[in-house]
Amino acid sequence: MRKIDRRIVIIVSVIFILGLAYGLMRFLIAQKEEPPVRRTLEARRFVRVEAVKYDRISSSVVETGRVSSIAEIDIVAEGSGKIEAGEVSLKKGARFSKGDVLFVVYPDEAILSLKARKSQYQNLLAGIIPDLVIDFPEEEEAFVQFFSSINVEEALPPMPEIKDDKLKIFLASRNVISEYYNIARDELQLKRLTVRAPFNGTFKEVYMEQGAYTNTGGRVARAIQTDHLELEVPLQRQDAAWVSLGDEVMVKSEDGSITWKGKVLRKSPFLDENTQRQTIFISIPNQYKQPIFAGAYYVAHFPVRPIEGVMEIPRNSVFNSNEVFVARSGRLAKEKINVIKVNQSTLIFNGLPEGDSVVVQQLINVSEGTLIQTDKEEQAMGPGGPGGPAQGTSAVKTAQKEDNQDRSEKKSNRN
């Protein structure tokens, strides 16, 4: 019995000590002040806004382009033979004027061949004239005069007009008509052995020089026209729509120190596969004191055109091509706009109600519904603006006051 009583006493004592320790712990915990709970304050984002107001805006298109010649051709030999010198040097970069002899393909053999053919033709005519006297006496005088006017040193005279079908058959059977046109063809080919400049220009490339032998159709040189050039300007499709044929264009050097006048000559009816741009061609007469060189880059200023009922904002304030943020009830809201024209650093649009506050700066890591404060509100706040208390000071003080009230209520409840 004593052992059992002793165990009971020990168990009760342990329970009493544990209960006393637990009660003392709860008492000490109750005496400790709870740390203040800070209320989460939603941060406000400062943004710049402008009130939507539509007006008439004059906008121009400015883009850089490369100058090229209005004419660039391959000069070929229309006969075979040795290339002889003309009036200009057959060298790359040599200048020439329209009508200058560029080079001559050795013509002596062709000249002698043509003279021999004319002499044979005279022999052919001499053989048919006695038959004409008998069968066609009324045509005798015309053909005798034609025979007498043929000179092997000169071009063939015109053939007498043939109205009688029987005479035509007679002349055709004697090859008089066909031989006449063969000689005329040879005369034309002889003229083509002397190659003349088709325009004012220069040699861009020279493939054969003086003394070389060329075949018929051989490329001798590549020439470009230099007195009339054109500026190729690739424009975005939206910008190209504002350009019309015949528009006067101001062309400037890249540093803006020299200015020329040009005119829109044509617009390509297709887009470049790589750049997805439409090319505008501007005609520039190269007749100024400051010459224009093919291959150089210049800046084209297309004419200013007024656009009614639009507004202009920075390009970086637009995202997803046609969306902007507007300020409504102190928060951000997304709206879509109608993009009218895109400039280098600005964008012209409409589609928002007048009076809305559109954000005119680039915003990063924000979403629709973000709490904001606009620059217009900051100016209206006065003391809360620059030089006053820090933004959000009143909200912090209110939160601290509420925390103090909560603490006093907890203490009174414990007591």
Q: Are strands 213-214 and 372-374 parallel, antiparallel or unpaired?
A: unpaired
The angle subtended at Cα 340 by Cα 334 and Cα 343, nearest 5°, is 95
Q: Can you count the helices (H) and strands (E) in the chain?
A: 8, 24
**pTM, rounded to two decimals:** 0.58
Q: Binning pLDDT at 50, 70 and 90, where does residue 386 land?
A: very low
DSSP code string of 365-403: S--TT-BEEEHHHHHHHGGGSTTSSPTTHHHHHHHHHHH
| Res. 237: pLDDT tops 70 | yes
pLDDT of residue 401: 46
pLDDT of residue 388: 37
Write out pLDDT tens, residues 60-109.
Answer: 888 999 999 989 999 998 888 888 888 999 999 999 999 999 998 887 77
Which of 25-34, 190-199, 321-330 shows the lowest per-residue confidence on average (mean pLDDT)?
A: 25-34
Q: Which residue has the higher pLDDT, 12 or 389?
A: 12
pLDDT of residue 207: 93
| Res. 307: pLDDT tops 70 | yes
Q: What is the dihedral of CA 181, 186, 189, 194, to 10 degrees?
A: -130
Q: What is the dihedral of CA 261, 267, 273, 276, to 10 degrees?
A: 70
Q: Binning pLDDT at 50, 70 and 90, where does residue 399 land?
A: very low
Report the C-alpha gap between 329 and 279 in whole angstroms.
Answer: 47
| Percentage of the residues of the chain whose pLDDT score is greater than 90 | 35
Can you tell me the mean pLDDT for 327-349? 90
Write out pLDDT tens, residues 260-298.
Answer: 889 999 999 999 888 899 999 999 887 667 788 888 999
Q: Which residue has the higher pLDDT, 110 or 358?
A: 358
Ordered by where they begin, the domains of the chain are 49-53+309-381 (2.40.420.20), 62-68+227-306 (2.40.30.170), 109-192 (no CATH)
pLDDT of residue 349: 94
Write out pLDDT tens, residues 135-177.
Answer: 888 888 888 898 889 888 888 899 888 888 888 888 888 888 8
Which residues, in sequence order, are CB contacts of 160 under 8 Å at separation 6+?
Answer: 139, 142, 143, 145, 146
Q: Binning pLDDT at 50, 70 and 90, where does residue 350 land?
A: very high
Report the C-alpha gap between 369 and 360 in whole angstroms.
Answer: 17
- Cα distances from 227 to residues 202, 252, 288, 315, in angstroms, run 10, 18, 10, 41
Phi and psi dihedrals of 138, rounded to 5? -70, -15
